[in-house]
Amino acid sequence: MLIESTESESWKSQPYVWMLILIPFSAVVVGMIMLTLAIQSDTGLVVDDYYKKGKQINMVLARDQAASAMGLSSQINFSDGKVEVQLKANASAITDEQISLGLFHATRAGLDQILLLEPGDNHTYIAEIDALDQGRWHVQLTTETWRLTGSLYVPGGSSLHLSPMPVATGNNL
């Protein structure tokens, strides 16, 4: 004898059915979120004109080589809201070019500062500076023809010596 069940439960009340529906639905939602993020965020990692960027890199390297050929070096002192730069070079290497000092925070671009230095006495240049936050700072002393670079750690760094970066020539693979 067969016993028939008179109770029939609706599929809506079964938890396994909802679990099976929820898995593909969540995949669609997460996929749409990722697609939205990919469209809205511009990481800037892909360079449209890589040839032009390569030429700019070569110009920067030429500025490093020019600083090395001139025998340039500098001593930078930070104190009381001012920065003082003392340039040292071969006899005729220092000209009346506009000199700028770039201070670039290693992780927070909003703190970066670019200062135009005013000439003082005996190859000394001075500018006012905002207080530097803690962390590592990349320092660039530049003109149109040469560049000196270095790093500064704050707190603790109140002076810095800059010299030309060594530039490799030829194919050193």
| Helix or strand holding residue 102 (H, E) | strand 100-105
**Per-residue confidence in pLDDT tens, the chain, 173 aa:** 555 555 677 888 888 888 999 999 999 999 999 999 888 876 655 556 666 666 666 666 777 777 777 777 888 888 878 888 888 877 565 666 778 888 888 887 788 888 888 887 777 888 888 887 888 888 888 887 778 888 888 777 677 777 776 655 544 43
> Angle at Cα 74 formed by Cα 69 and Cα 79, nearest 5°?
165
Separate counts of helices (H) and strands (E) for the chain? 2, 9
Q: What is the DSSP letter of 76?
A: E
Helix, strand, coil % over all residues of the chain, rounded to 5: 30, 30, 40
DSSP assignments along 53-65, one per residue: HHHHHHHHHHHHH
Which domains are present in the chain? 71-162 (2.60.40)
Residues 158, 161, 166, 167, CA torsion sign: positive
CB 127 within 8 A of CB 82: yes
Pick the closest to residue 73 from 162, 167, 166 (CA basis).
Answer: 162
Long-range CB contacts (within 8 A, 24+) of 152-158 = 152/103, 157/78, 158/77, 158/78, 158/79
At residue 19, what are phi and psi to the nearest 5 degrees?
-65, -40
Q: Full-prediction pTM beyond 0.75? A: no
